[in-house]
Structure 1
């Protein structure tokens, strides 16, 4: 299974995976019936989660809703540390993850806007460098595992800050590759996919983020909390939900 998933991730365009993979995996889920792990997003139970990744990680992907470790952590964070599920908000979800779309839309209705340049799952087609929204439009913005792909991450972060209302928050996550460099590595001259994979961890990444990532977010105006939420949960919860061990939530607020 690991080899099959790795093959599809490396060779099938992302937009086709987004459209069809959930149908296939719902069939596969029959073979993972059990009670050892639980997805907090869809509340399904399995004997284990599916492997996932170009270099496949064990126990990662929920075969029912397609949540990954980071999605399950974000869901628990929103539930425990914000009023996202109890208060109606205007939400912008950039590069929306399929595991969240229907659930978030059920809560926030027409005020939940999905947007992306290419994703077939998004309502609005847009370039994150120049978003078609007024200043101070949204209470919440989600933008996860996008900044490592964009040409100008400072401009993209600034756009998120611009459209966020004062008092609102954004969660802007990035992939972490160990050992984490002190300073973000990027070179516009590295364009070959093989070279990008070598230097940045994946062939469609244009930078490898370092320990300075929170300061890059702060530079556009955000007040950033680096919340080590996963370690506030018990070992039993971390195991039950198969959460990432070293994922810090970058909770970004726009001061009033």
Structure 2
């Protein structure tokens, strides 16, 4: 019964309200699913199973009961921890639409000057439009902007702003939902129905489906882009234990 109620919250409640409500519900769910089969690498806690998640069609066993992380969050955490200096070096970090799984952990890191931004999130320090950021040029050493650009009608302008505020030598990780079987990104501004958008783009508030050309679009803005398949260096048992999506690409962009 508790898990069904939590599933309703995850899929029906607007995200700003969901963030607030989840603080109350999450500890109960995490306790009920304690076990040893799957592990969330973000907090190291293990469970007998993870929760389902997804708009429309549900993905089973993907949502961590403790951090509310999904496959992409856990993969990114492993990459950031093992392959970058974000957890130890002095960095000015800009975090768009801050994920609950990361927010408190980054806030506590003494090495980071941590700024969050979004139009609607209650976790945002700065309420801002990604296409018109209120920051100076070269203001940040590291940018996290994950699963944001698919919501933005003018993603070219958003990418230009991300490039502008990133310092020379800095890194931006710009994850998006991506169909790697599709060569060319698909978008159609005439599709305005939430139901049709969910059917065609995968979610009611998405405006496109990115294809493999996403990386070249970032390069056209000026970024150097490394297409990192971090699951390629992990064992099958690690991928299963952490509940990751095999083959998901992390776009690591530098300036």
Q: TM-score normalized by structure 1?
A: 0.94
Misfit runs of 4+, over 6 Å: none
* CA apart distance, 1:108: 4.3
Report the equivalent of 1:137.
139
**2-structure distance, mates of 1:156, 1:244:** 27
Residues 50, 9 of structure 1: CA spacing in aligned structure 2 closer, same or farther, 3 A cutoff? closer
Report the equivalent of 1:89.
91
**2-structure distance, mates of 1:121, 1:40:** 22
Unaligned runs of 5+ in 1: none
**1-structure distance, mates of 2:135, 2:80:** 24
For residues 85-135 of structure 1, what are the alpha-carbon distances to aligned partners after superposition, in whole Å with 9 as ceiling and x for unaligned? 111200000000011011111114671001000001111100000000000
* CA apart distance, 1:4: 5.2
Report the equivalent of 1:207.
208
* CA apart distance, 1:9: 3.9
Preserved contact between residue 22 and residue 63 of structure 1 (Cα < 8 Å): no
Superposition RMSD in Å:
1.7
**2-structure distance, mates of 1:141, 1:97:** 13
**2-structure distance, mates of 1:23, 1:60:** 20
Mapping 1:63-74, distance limit 5 Å:
63-74=65-76
**2-structure distance, mates of 1:218, 1:160:** 13
Residues 108, 184 of structure 1: CA spacing in aligned structure 2 closer, same or farther, 3 A cutoff? farther
**2-structure distance, mates of 1:42, 1:74:** 14
Partner SS, residue 137 of structure 2 = coil
Report the equivalent of 1:124.
126
Preserved contact between residue 38 and residue 46 of structure 1 (Cα < 8 Å): yes
* CA apart distance, 1:220: 0.8
Report the equivalent of 2:47.
46
For residues 209-228 of structure 1, what are the alpha-carbon distances to aligned partners after superposition, in whole Å with 9 as ceiling and x for unaligned? 11101011111110000011
Partner SS, residue 27 of structure 1 = helix
Report the equivalent of 1:175.
177
**2-structure distance, mates of 1:85, 1:6:** 32
For residues 183-215 of structure 1, what are the alpha-carbon distances to aligned partners after superposition, in whole Å with 9 as ceiling and x for unaligned? 111111111112212221111111111110101
Unaligned runs of 5+ in 2: none
**2-structure distance, mates of 1:198, 1:37:** 31
Report the equivalent of 2:101.
99
**2-structure distance, mates of 1:126, 1:214:** 25
* CA apart distance, 1:11: 2.5
